[in-house]
Structure 1
Amino acid sequence: MSTYQHIAERAAQVPVRQLCQVLRVAPAAYYAWQHRRQRPTVEPAWQVAVRKAFSQHSQRYGTRQLRVEVQAEGHRVGRWRIRRVLKAYGLRAQQPRSFVPRTTDSDPAVRAAPNRVLGQPAPTVPNRVWVGDITYLPR
């Protein structure tokens, strides 16, 4: 049981100031605790909008993109407030994996495409023969 709860239980029999003096607690601190305890815990609409937008976008949006989404819904909120809400709920944007080009199959049984330029005469003007390699593209 906290000190403030003890004071709240005994407040009917003994004056609050006297209890606070005995327990060495500032009366203002007790009343602030009482005020916080009585305040309704209704979640603001913008916090609901932040969490909804975060889940709608597969938990990939960071504070910048979330701010744009939430402000489009009419809520005036900044990045740092959104950051605090995400941290309070333990939410972190998932970073997409970076693209890593894969090399070609080095299996000797796989036949490479035929070289169609070898049997042709040498080009005489620029921009007649183009050559490219697309082995880095994922399958």
Structure 2
Amino acid sequence: MKFMKSNCLEHSIGSMARVLGVSRSGYYKYLNRHKDRSVAPELTNFLQEKWLKSRKNYGFKRLFQEVKKSNLPYGARKVRKAMKHCKISGKQRKQFRPLTTNSKHGGRIAPDLVQRKFHPNEQNRIWVSDVTFIRTSFGWSYLCMILDLYSRKIVVGRFPIVMILSWYVIRY
């Protein structure tokens, strides 16, 4: 391989590979294997400085934008590699969750009729319900389910577009 590298200006790589019984791809792999693959200290210092300045918030996208703004000669792959080497990662944003419970009010609080005894002896004795908020492409929708605790089967399930107060209180 060293012979091929030193004589590549005088002879073609293909003809030398044929004579020496080596594949051309093997020669090129040999050349790439010996390239310096270390991370540039200038880049790592820059990334760490910007990352710490952002209070460890910035991830790849923003750090790469900073590299481009500063006209540093590094591409996306080098920046990712340097971030991995320095153990730099951005903080994930928490997904928005609606506040569903407001216990600090002067309104009436429903009594606990079940008294936390969730194992009834007969069917249709205790029903429980819950309302779940579901984000859709049209906005928030609400899923209301009523469950029989004895059989663990859903008695009623509704998926309305608009929240209706009468779905909260079902009397019979």
Same fold, TM-score > 0.5, yes or no: no
Relative contact order, higher structure (CA 8 A, sep 6+): 1
Q: More strand by proportion, 1 or 2?
A: 2
Tell me the TM-score range normalised by the shorter chain.
Answer: 0.3 to 0.5
Q: More helix by proportion, 1 or 2?
A: 1
